[in-house]
């Protein structure tokens, strides 16, 4: 049987900053890969399992989906939180659960040419020495589903049953398992090739729009590439609130976008949510503070960014988990 090679995949251990010519509308998404036949075996920490069903989950955001065209066409998402669940195939009881540590470099990718999709590990961005990592480890699926040739990870999807593959290399190379660090200890999956059945699904989460959002901004594109932003927003009705500590936070100012994965923000002394760091050469600070029931303030400052062509008034978009809003920022008033 011909084994289809999966696409090139990547993982970034820090948030990505990149330019876009259009406003990015982020939508939380959950990707799930179920190895359903009970043929999976391996170890998770001190637990040895066999005849198991494995469920891999990845909580991400469509704003962080990346496209690649070399050496083949595909798409990947490298910012998010990944987990694994081990279920005994006979008793149907969950026997272990764990969240992957960032060092495992878990990502989700699809190879449109060869119609393969899965969870990979230890990758790097295109062009880096880590690229492409291990696109079929811990697990991937492949087959002849025509819809996989055009799917881009940005919408709801269900692959149906396909063949499963777990291999660090590809057939003909080394498939010895390697340790993937998790909160329950290292996961090692024994190599398997071309058995049925695996299913891959993607489920978008409903987005709640802010009921109010206003902002002011200052831009200094030369020579410092710096900006400052202040704003106030109110959550929309029917939402489940925000949690900057555990959700992806994306901020877009004109063509400049920063996406901070879960865990980037910390609690400040006054209870506000705070991020401070240097990302890809950009010094960035963001504070989000609760001002009242469902109302929050945001302040952001950055320097060293590429702000060429951005002028005031400027479109600003803020997304926190499944809550999002867009407004036009003006120059602050001199009071």
What digits encode the pLDDT tens for the residues 27-66?
789 999 999 877 789 999 999 999 899 999 998 888 889 8
Q: CA dist 7 to 113, 164, 267, Å?
A: 8, 15, 39
Same domain (yes/no): 231, 187: no
Residue that has been written with the tokens 């030369």 in this structure: 222
Average pLDDT over residues 318-326: 90
216 strand-pairing partners: 230, 330
Same domain (yes/no): 49, 139: yes
CA dihedral 65, 68, 74, 77 (to 10 degrees): -20
pLDDT of residue 26: 64
Same domain (yes/no): 219, 96: no
4 in a domain, yes or no?
no
9 in a domain, yes or no?
no
pLDDT of residue 173: 55
CA dihedral 9, 15, 17, 20 (to 10 degrees): 60
Same domain (yes/no): 106, 184: yes
Summary mean pLDDT of the chain: 85
130 in a domain, yes or no?
yes
Of 256, 119, 122, the residue nearest 181 (C-alpha):
122
Of 218, 199, 207, 222, the residue nearest 299 (C-alpha):
218
84 in a domain, yes or no?
yes
Same domain (yes/no): 63, 192: yes
Decide if pLDDT at 153 tops 60.
Answer: yes
Distance CA 137, CA 302 (A): 37
Distance CA 260, CA 257 (A): 10
Instruction: Domain of residue 99: give its range.
Output: 17-204
Q: Please provide residue 220's backbone torsions phi and psi, each rounded to the nearest 5 degrees.
A: -130, 80
Tokens of 333: 């008033």
pLDDT of residue 130: 77
Does this model's pTM top 0.85? My answer is: no
Distance CA 4, CA 167 (A): 12
Number of domains in the chain: 2
pLDDT of residue 209: 93
Same domain (yes/no): 252, 318: yes
> Greater confidence, 128 or 286?
286
Same domain (yes/no): 226, 265: yes
Confidence bin at 8 (pLDDT 50/70/90): very low
Same domain (yes/no): 53, 178: yes
3 state SS of 296:
strand
Average pLDDT over residues 300-327: 92
Same domain (yes/no): 151, 228: no
Same domain (yes/no): 66, 160: yes
Residue that has been written with the tokens 């479109």 in this structure: 315
């Amino acid at each position: 049987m011909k084994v289809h090679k999966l696409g090139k995949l990547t993982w970034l251990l820090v948030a990505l900053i990149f330019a876009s010519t259009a406003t990015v509308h982020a939508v939380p998404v959950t990707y799930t890969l179920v190895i359903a036949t009970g043929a999976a075996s391996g170890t998770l920490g001190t637990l040895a399992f066999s005849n198991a069903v494995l469920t891999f989950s990845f909580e991400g955001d469509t704003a962080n989906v990346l496209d690649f065209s070399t050496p083949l066409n595909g798409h990947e998402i490298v910012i998010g939180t990944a987990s694994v669940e081990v279920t005994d195939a006979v008793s149907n009881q969950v026997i272990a659960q764990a969240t992957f540590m960032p060092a495992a470099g878990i990502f989700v990718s699809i190879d449109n040419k060869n119609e393969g999709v899965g969870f990979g590990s230890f990758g790097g961005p295109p062009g880096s020495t880590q690229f492409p990592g291990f696109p079929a480890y811990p697990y991937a699926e492949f087959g002849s589903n025509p819809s996989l040739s055009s799917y881009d990870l940005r919408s709801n999807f269900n692959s149906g049953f396909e063949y499963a593959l777990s291999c660090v290399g590809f057939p003909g190379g080394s498939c010895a398992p390697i340790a993937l660090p998790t909160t329950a200890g290292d996961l090692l999956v024994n190599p398997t090739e071309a058995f049925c059945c695996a299913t891959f699904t993607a489920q978008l989460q409903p987005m709640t729009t802010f009921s109010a959002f206003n902002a002011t901004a200052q831009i200094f594109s030369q020579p410092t590439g710096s900006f400052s932003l202040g704003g106030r927003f109110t959550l929309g009705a029917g939402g489940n609130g925000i949690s900057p500590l555990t959700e992806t936070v994306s901020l877009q100012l004109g063509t400049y976008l920063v996406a901070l994965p879960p865990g980037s923000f910390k609690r400040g002394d006054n209870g506000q949510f705070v991020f401070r760091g240097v990302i890809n050469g950009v010094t960035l600070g963001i504070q989000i503070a609760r001002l009242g029931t469902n109302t929050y303030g945001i302040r952001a400052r950055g320097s060293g960014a590429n702000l060429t062509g951005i002028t005031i008034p400027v479109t600003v978009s803020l997304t926190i988990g499944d809550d999002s809003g867009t407004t036009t920022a003006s120059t602050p008033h001199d009071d």
